[in-house]
């Protein structure tokens, strides 16, 4: 299996070759040359498999350059009940992503039982083990530089902590994360984890990462790498739980299901699109956004109009506060029939700060063929949905999952199981839970007093050179 760029100007490469990088050299995103296909016989064989067996079945079609025995070992070490242990009392951690039924044909797929209690652990834990393996084989190391407003940074640090050949430098805006989020990251004492609290806002952090990435000489000399949401390995790992959720919610392969996906960067729902392209019987993929509704606008109107950071709202589902959806280009590549020239033209306009309208080319009319629907929520919707879920089903959901459930309830169809992806546990966003339910969410064991643990972080100015200097010193 080779991977090609959505812009068509980069050579095809293997899974291991693209794993450590982000964008393709031509500025595009990598996708498999063709999607592996699972037919009815495959699906019958896979039904009833546990998470590890499913993961191996799917990943072995993507990572064809990793010997089977090695991939099997990586998968078996990644998806264990010990790692994904933060389940609700009624759930079995052995399921890794348990299906929690609310009522007939309405389910939550619980993706937030990992170490940082958000769905990003599902992919990041695999990435940690894959990185370590690929680096050891190549006899080299990597210094991961990232910016986070919360969930991505902690998921990356918990996945990479203590790993051979890997250092993590994670920039976060000083005193802007929730106390819980800051405590999660800063309480890590591992020597290879470096937390840098930048005097500034999230965009300052992201600008520093961009500036360092654009300094090709520095990047090369210091083995700078990234784990952002466009990384193909993360998308591949996310495909697995769509299959797991499908089998858990159905009894026969003639049945179709729909998924509702709380969305920001389009990474999670992009994996759903790919699962569907691989033959998973999916009826609809619901793209659920918050007030930052660039994706909802596209699926309603055919116009993709990124907002720019000044027009990005801070909401109570903060992990979906994005101005442009980095992974969206992957879907548009498929929508155009994989026409790299057309994709390059469209993103040429976007990168100039513009927008595009797919009505003119007739492409928007084809969006329905891919099963997408969309909706958005405001703060009051989240509050009402959290109250409703608690009142009716006695289940406490976080603010992002609430965005997904709200849109799911608008679109559900009789006889088609609707699966809402639970992307974080409520303990991560306590303030809004308190506002909605006037009570505190239960924290998983071991996280009760996380704010009281000793913290390890460096406060620095938003100064690119100073941060480069810090990376050099720490890795000398």
Ligand X SMILES: *Cc1c(COP(=O)(O)O)cnc(C)c1O
Q: Which residue numbers are catalytic? A: 120
Is 268 among the residues that bind ligand X (CB under 6 A)?
Answer: yes
Per-residue contact string for residues 313-332; x = within reach of ligand X by CB under 6 A:
------xx------------
Distance CA 204, CA 211 (A): 10
Distance CA 34, CA 277 (A): 10
Distance CA 449, CA 164 (A): 29
Residue 170 dihedral angles phi and psi, to the nearest 5°: -115, 120
Q: Are 325 and 296 in contact (CB under 8 A)?
A: no
Q: Which of residues 120-139 bind ligand X (CB under 6 A)?
A: 120
Q: From 46-54, 160-168, 192-200, 262-270, give the range in contact with ligand X by CB under 6 A.
A: 262-270
Q: From 55-63, 156-164, 263-271, 450-458, give the range in contact with ligand X by CB under 6 A.
A: 263-271
By beta-carbon proximity to ligand X, the closer residue of 133 and 298 is 298
By beta-carbon proximity to ligand X, the closer residue of 10 and 268 is 268
> Which of residues 57, 121, 132, 151 is near ligand X by CB under 6 A?
151
SS3 sequence of 44-66: HHHCCCCHHHHHHHHHHHHCCCC
Is 423 among the residues that bind ligand X (CB under 6 A)?
Answer: yes
Is 424 among the residues that bind ligand X (CB under 6 A)?
Answer: yes
| Minimum separation from the CB atom of position 412 to ligand X (A) | 20
Give 439: exposed, middle or buried? Use CB within 10 Å, 0-12, 13-18, 19+.
Answer: exposed
> Which of residues 262, 375, 417, 426 is near ligand X by CB under 6 A?
262
Q: What is the DSSP letter of 438?
A: S
| Minimum separation from the CB atom of position 463 to ligand X (A) | 28
Pick from 31, 447, 55: nearest CA to 237: 55
Pick from 215, 219, 216, 223: nearest CA to 142: 223
Q: From 61-69, 78-86, 258-266, 297-305, give the range in contact with ligand X by CB under 6 A.
A: 258-266
Point out which residues pair with 265 in neighbouring strands.
none
> Which of residues 260, 265, 312, 432 is near ligand X by CB under 6 A?
265
Q: Which of residues 6-45 bind ligand X (CB under 6 A)?
A: none
Instruction: Kindly state the tokens that stand for 16.
Output: 């291991």
Residue in the shown chain whose Cβ atom is closest to ligand X: 267
Residues binding ligand X: what is the number (CB under 6 A)?
16
By beta-carbon proximity to ligand X, the closer residue of 49 and 378 is 378
Q: What is the DSSP letter of 442?
A: P
| Minimum separation from the CB atom of position 128 to ligand X (A) | 17
By beta-carbon proximity to ligand X, the closer residue of 32 and 426 is 426
Q: Which of residues 63-122 bind ligand X (CB under 6 A)?
A: 118, 120
By beta-carbon proximity to ligand X, the closer residue of 135 and 147 is 147
| Minimum separation from the CB atom of position 360 to ligand X (A) | 27
| Minimum separation from the CB atom of position 177 to ligand X (A) | 13
Instruction: Kindly state the tokens that stand for 230.
Output: 């466009």
| Minimum separation from the CB atom of position 139 to ligand X (A) | 33
Helix (H) or strand (E) holding 294: helix 294-301
> Which of residues 3, 15, 266, 331 is near ligand X by CB under 6 A?
266
Any residues with CB less than 8 A from the CB of 85 and at least 6 apart, and which? Answer: 93, 113, 444
Task: Collapse the DSSP code of 175 into the 3-class scheme (helix H, G, I; strand E, B; otherwise coil) and give the result.
Answer: coil
Q: Are 140 and 165 in contact (CB under 8 A)?
A: yes
Is 227 among the residues that bind ligand X (CB under 6 A)?
Answer: no
Task: Collapse the DSSP code of 446 into the 3-class scheme (helix H, G, I; strand E, B; otherwise coil) and give the result.
Answer: coil
Q: Are 295 and 329 in contact (CB under 8 A)?
A: no
Residues found near ligand X in the complex (CB under 6 A): 118, 120, 151, 229, 262-268, 319-320, 400, 423-424
């Amino acid at each position: 299996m080779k991977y090609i760029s959505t812009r068509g100007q980069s050579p095809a490469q293997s899974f291991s070759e693209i794993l450590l990088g982000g964008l393709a050299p031509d500025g595009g995103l990598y996708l498999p040359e063709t999607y592996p296909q699972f037919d009815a016989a495959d699906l019958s064989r896979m039904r009833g498999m546990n998470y590890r067996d499913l993961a191996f079945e799917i990943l072995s079609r993507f990572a064809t350059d990793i010997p089977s025995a090695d991939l099997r070992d990586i998968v078996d070490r990644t998806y264990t009940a010990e790692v994904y242990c933060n389940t609700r009392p009624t759930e079995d951690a052995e399921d890794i992503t348990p299906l929690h039924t609310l009522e007939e044909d309405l389910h939550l797929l619980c993706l937030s039982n990992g170490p940082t209690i958000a769905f990003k652990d599902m992919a990041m834990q695999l990435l940690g083990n894959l990185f370590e393996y690929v680096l050891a084989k190549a006899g080299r190391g990597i210094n991961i530089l990232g910016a986070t407003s919360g969930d991505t940074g902690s998921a990356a640090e918990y996945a990479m902590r203590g790993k051979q050949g890997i250092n993590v430098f994670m920039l976060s805006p000083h005193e802007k994360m929730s106390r819980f989020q800051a405590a999660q990251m800063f309480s890590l004492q591992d020597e290879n984890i470096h937390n840098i609290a930048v005097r500034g806002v999230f965009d300052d952090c992201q600008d520093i990462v961009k500036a360092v990435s654009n300094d090709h000489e520095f990047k090369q000399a210091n083995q700078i790498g990234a784990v952002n949401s466009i990384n193909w390995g993360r998308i591949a790992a996310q495909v697995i739980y769509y299959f797991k959720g499908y089998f858990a919610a159905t009894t026969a392969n003639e049945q179709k299901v729909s998924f509702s996906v709380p969305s920001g960067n389009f990474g999670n729902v992009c994996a759903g699109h790919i699962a569907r392209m691989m033959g998973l019987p999916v009826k609809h993929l619901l793209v659920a956004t918050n007030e930052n509704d660039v994706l909802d606008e596209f699926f309603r109107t055919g116009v993709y109009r990124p907002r720019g950071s000044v027009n990005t709202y801070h909401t109570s589902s903060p992990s979906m506060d994005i101005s442009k959806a980095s992974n969206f280009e992957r879907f548009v590549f498929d929508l155009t029939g994989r026409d790299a020239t057309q994709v390059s033209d469209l993103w040429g306009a976007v990168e100039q700060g513009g927008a595009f309208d797919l009505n003119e080319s007739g492409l928007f009319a084809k969006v329905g063929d891919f099963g997408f629907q969309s909706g958005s929520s405001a703060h009051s919707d989240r509050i009402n949905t959290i109250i409703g879920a608690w009142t009716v089903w006695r289940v406490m959901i976080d603010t992002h999952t609430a965005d997904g459930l709200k849109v799911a309830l608008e679109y559900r169809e009789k006889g088609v199981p609707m699966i809402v992806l639970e992307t974080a546990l409520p303990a991560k966003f306590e303030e809004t839970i308190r506002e909605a339910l006037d009570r505190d969410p239960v924290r998983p064991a071991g996280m009760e007093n996380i704010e009281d643990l000793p913290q390890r972080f460096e406060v620095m100015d938003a100064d690119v050179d100073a941060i480069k200097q810090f990376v050099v010193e720490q890795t000398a």
